[in-house]
Amino acid sequence: MIAERLKQIRLARGLSLDALVEEMGGVVTKQAISKYETGKAQPTPTVLQSLAKTLGVKAAELLRPPQVAVDFIAYRKGAGLRKKEQVQVENLVERVLEERVRLQEMTGEVGAFSLPIQKFEVKSVEDAEKAAAKLREQWKLGDAPIANVVAMLEDHLIHVVEIDADEKFDGISAITNDQNGKPRGAAVVSRRGLPGERQRMNLAHELGHIVMDVSEDVDEEKAAFRFAGAFLAPADALQREVGLRRGFVQGEELVMLKLKYGISVQALLYRLQALGIIGSSHYRQWCIAINKQGYRKQEPYELEAEKPQWLRRTVLRALSEGLMNREDAERVLGDELSEDALSPRILGRKELTKMGVEERRKILARQVTDFAELTSSKSISSSSKNGSRKK
């Protein structure tokens, strides 16, 4: 058994030694598991199988050493994670990235990873604006709104990982390297359950941490926030729509811009002030009004959160091409695959009308999801180039 692997999987599950012993029904002692994790002892085949079952992995996985090294780029100040939670998140991300890099290699996507990791030098907060413009140029995004940030990140093999965490947690970012130190993938971690506008901003913020090399005398969080705003709402595009200088901005205007660029009204106001379009006094007026109306934490016209699809789509591809069996596919997805997802056809109207209402709804919902996942790459890519945004 590889001691490091057992500890990694246990911590990724958020289990203490005592909790693992309890879940195993007392088959093994806390002291014994501690010895396994430090390499001082090896479990019997029976205990090994019990460990694997409790941790939700195959026994063979406990015997395989980690294949990648993960570096965490940045934790936000006041990220809201206690030490135990931080350790769990780190081990979870390590596991997720390793699994996804393995899928990349399995399906031949390794060569698609091209990310300027900490390549854009930032000596002032204003330089973050230039970094965002350079990345947009490198990725051929133009200055149109980004239709789907999650899909765009996944297209560049930046894996979007959603976790259940305290509302104070905003996100972290990480990269993974092979044994020769060559980057093989990246991940941005966001809290599950956020409205779409905040989710998009957080993901762009974490992307900024990955691509920028920020000087020590520059506030890295302010630089990342400036990067995120510039990446989602480029200066030239915003100035064409709003103007170079405004004494007053209407609320309806802000809502329309929010729906177009997919960022919150508060982030838009900050952006307009940063670009000098509105003055600090008008910005403060809006901040006071937003606080009075209780919109600071929850704005009206919330956008729907975007859903990661790369993992499911790639697993289905690997399964279809015989690169992975169904058991492994379900383990990676953490969910059972329905027969409809595995079926080479879509049920017709006659078959559906013979079913009960609830059964019909479930099957239709699954088929819509599965079909969307299989076709999303091309449609999203096309919509991004055209600058369109689904309402």
- Asked whether residue 225 carries a pLDDT value surpassing 50, the answer given is yes
Can you tell me the mean pLDDT for 168-184?
82
pLDDT given for residue 78 in this prediction = 46
Name the CA dihedral angle for 54, 55, 60, 66, rounded to a multiple of 10 degrees: -160
CA of residue 307 relative to chain centroid, distance: 9
CB 228 within 8 A of CB 212: no
Can you tell me the mean pLDDT for 12-27?
90
DSSP secondary structure of 176-243: EE-TTS-EEEEEEEEETT--HHHHHHHHHHHHHHHHEEE-TTS-HHHHHHHHHHHHHS-HHHHHHHH-
CB 188 within 8 A of CB 207: yes
Choice among 77-91, 139-153, 186-200, 272-286 with the minimum mean pLDDT: 77-91
pLDDT given for residue 384 in this prediction = 44
**pTM value surpassing 0.95:** no
pLDDT given for residue 343 in this prediction = 61
CB 207 within 8 A of CB 231: yes
Q: How far apart are CA 105 and CA 176, in angstroms?
A: 14
Which is nearest to 82 in space by CA: 11, 187, 165? 165
Can you tell me the mean pLDDT for 221-247?
96
Q: Which residue has the tokens 């079926």?
A: 343
Choice among 34-38, 69-73, 283-287, 336-340 with the minimum mean pLDDT: 336-340
Q: How far apart are CA 270 and CA 284, in angstroms?
A: 10
Cα-Cα-Cα-Cα dihedral sign, residues 343, 349, 351, 354: positive
Across the chain, mean pLDDT equals 85
- Asked whether residue 149 carries a pLDDT value surpassing 80, the answer given is yes
Interhelix angle 326-333/310-320, rounded to 10 degrees, is: 180
pLDDT given for residue 355 in this prediction = 60
Confidence category of residue 388, pLDDT binned at 50, 70, 90: very low
Q: Which domains does the chain have, with CATH numbers?
A: 1-65 (1.10.260.40), 107-292 (no CATH), 310-386 (no CATH)
- Asked whether residue 362 carries a pLDDT value surpassing 70, the answer given is no
Interhelix angle 265-274/280-292, rounded to 10 degrees, is: 170
Choice among 49-53, 281-285, 362-366 with the minimum mean pLDDT: 362-366
CB 235 within 8 A of CB 129: yes
> Model confidence over 341-352: pLDDT tens digits?
666 555 555 555
Q: How far apart are CA 93 and CA 218, in angstroms?
A: 28
Which is nearest to 95 in space by CA: 33, 199, 174? 174
Name the CA dihedral angle for 255, 258, 259, 260, rounded to a multiple of 10 degrees: 120
> Model confidence over 82-107: pLDDT tens digits?
788 888 888 888 888 889 988 998 99
